[in-house]
Structure 1
């Protein structure tokens, strides 16, 4: 059984950064696209039931997209903390809007023990942001540094190359979306990619977990540890030994060219 089970969850699908090659495909969305409070509450309540009343969900990362864009963010944070009082909850942000957030937002983070974690793209004064947020009594750290960037995480070629064994996503970036658990964001949000580029990549029912079709946490863990999606062999392009795509370089704003996201 996994004693450190945790998930990532989009509060917002879209983003104020439009990064070419984004593995969540957030940069392909032109309109602000977010999850309603009602849907969040419903999905979190189902997750609580399937994780021993929430006791077995050790951590939850709230992200996107850019979660600070959610119009009802403080309500969402209150809802999620109320459902998961013991889970470590982290809000992952690019930090661009942190100086614009209200005092109420920071009070909610502090009262609910929600940590803010900034992904460093080199676009903000990080030291100043850290100082300001710590002064409000809110926990903050740096999630990762993204000065370099990976492209083409999807493959539409005839080659078969199973990326499963070297994949870090299936251990660190398991995504919860619409009452389903996916081993990686590429599978969870492939619908955005498909819609943008008129492709028809399919993630079959045996490649994810539908929480409505499992009854217990033990069953959830059994299925989770046995998943080996065909997607990993047919479509995933994270073929390098470190579990990333081979194409990398400096981050730039997307031109919505399929070659930024996909090897053809």
Structure 2
């Protein structure tokens, strides 16, 4: 598939500087001259030089090497990335999306194995409110059908204090999110509390950015003094994200784009199995959220974001997908960080209700119609 493709083109462009792309690079080095291989990536945080490998932007790659073959190196976002290349003027015949099966298999197997390994350091997401102003179709936090449920400040402070006591040194990042956290009138109080109890931990607010232009001087001052950054999902809406980024960074605020959204947000379909007939272990090891999107919900830590938010789905559609007491670990009852981290690396009962193998990716962004099929 990738043999001798340099015969016709001057360069081979690997689009995606991540695990799959790096493995592909190592293989290509043995088949082609190393200086014929170029990495490009949409993420500004990945651009630059890493271990002697230069990573350029997609725009630069298209401008310099538009006659080259582009290999899309992604396990889940190849559809979106291929469309970005087409939109940039790269002909379809110059785009390779089919990757070597052994590389894909090895990377998937590695992911699955690591999900069952307790992590030494985790990031924790805290929903400070459940409602959102964008209401994206199929949101895995169920924001389009959730009520405006703001997390009580005293509960948040109690949880932050306990995390600081039991998880000291094992949390590298706290993310305040929703819903849309900028809708929460007490947002800055959560920021201050989090920083008080987590003085050396990265703290970020995850936002769609649409309300940033309405934030007053106090907002920017508190974020700057507390060294709290912004994690922004870039949606296909009429919003000057670049201008907002420049303004935030000019105020001393770290700005990060979430995942692949820097090039435009697409949607995922994460179907639930209402019968609960999925194999919990199979669901867990194949789920990209498992032992990754660690969510704190009123004193309990969950291995993912779907389980602790299922109440909104149940209430809106009159369903009863059960969230049992054993699906989360009570941080106030846990005796050690080891106990917490080991719990997060195991399937939970709720995994039976996620049809992980039925998930699909990179759908065009839409507003929710509140149709149950968005989640089933």
Q: State the TM-score, normalizing by the size of structure 2.
A: 0.64
Kindly state the Cα deviation for residue 12 of structure 1 after the two structures are TM-superposed: 1.4
SS at match of 2:367: coil
Q: Distance in 1 between matches of 2:324 and 2:347?
A: 12
Query: Which one of 330, 337, 348 corresponds to residue 229 of structure 1?
Result: 348
Q: State the TM-score, normalizing by the size of structure 1.
A: 0.89
Cα-to-partner distance string for 1:86-125 (whole Å, 9 max, x where unaligned): 1111111000000000111111111111111110112221
Q: Distance in 2 between matches of 1:125 and 1:257?
A: 31
Kindly state the Cα deviation for residue 248 of structure 1 after the two structures are TM-superposed: 5.4
Kindly indicate whether the alpha-carbon contact (under 8 Å) linking 2:175 and 2:205 is maintained by their aligned counterparts in 1.
yes
SS at match of 1:150: strand
Residue 21 in structure 1 maps to residue 143 in structure 2: no
Higher relative contact order (CA 8 A, sep 6+): 1
Query: Which one of 144, 148, 162 corresponds to residue 266 of structure 2?
Result: 148
What's the counterpart of residue 192 of structure 2? 78
Q: Distance in 1 between matches of 2:173 and 2:273?
A: 31
Query: Which one of 247, 252, 274 corresponds to residue 137 of structure 1?
Result: 252
Structure 2: gaps spanning 5 or more residues:
1-117
Query: Which one of 56, 60, 64 corresponds to residue 170 of structure 2?
Result: 56
What's the counterpart of residue 96 of structure 1? 210
Q: Distance in 1 between matches of 2:154 and 2:202?
A: 22
Residues 52-201 of structure 1 aligned to structure 2 (within 5 Å): 52=168, 55-123=169-237, 124-144=239-259, 145=261, 147-157=265-275, 159-161=277-279, 162-201=282-321
Kindly indicate whether the alpha-carbon contact (under 8 Å) linking 2:123 and 2:171 is maintained by their aligned counterparts in 1.
yes
Structure 1: gaps spanning 5 or more residues:
none
Aligned residues: 253
SS at match of 1:117: strand
Kindly state the Cα deviation for residue 157 of structure 1 after the two structures are TM-superposed: 4.5
Kindly indicate whether the alpha-carbon contact (under 8 Å) linking 2:120 and 2:341 is maintained by their aligned counterparts in 1.
no
Q: Distance in 2 between matches of 1:39 and 1:157?
A: 33
Kindly indicate whether the alpha-carbon contact (under 8 Å) linking 1:60 and 1:89 is maintained by their aligned counterparts in 2.
yes
Q: Distance in 2 between matches of 1:249 and 1:121?
A: 13
The structure 1 segments of at least 4 consecutive aligned residues displaced by more than 6 Å after TM superposition are: none
What's the counterpart of residue 120 of structure 2? 3
Residues 206-221 of structure 1 aligned to structure 2 (within 5 Å): 206-221=326-341
Q: 1:238 to 1:130 in 2, by over 3 A?
A: same
Once superposed, what is the RMSD of the aligned Cα atoms?
1.8
Larger Rg: 2
Q: 1:112 to 1:158 in 2, by over 3 A?
A: closer
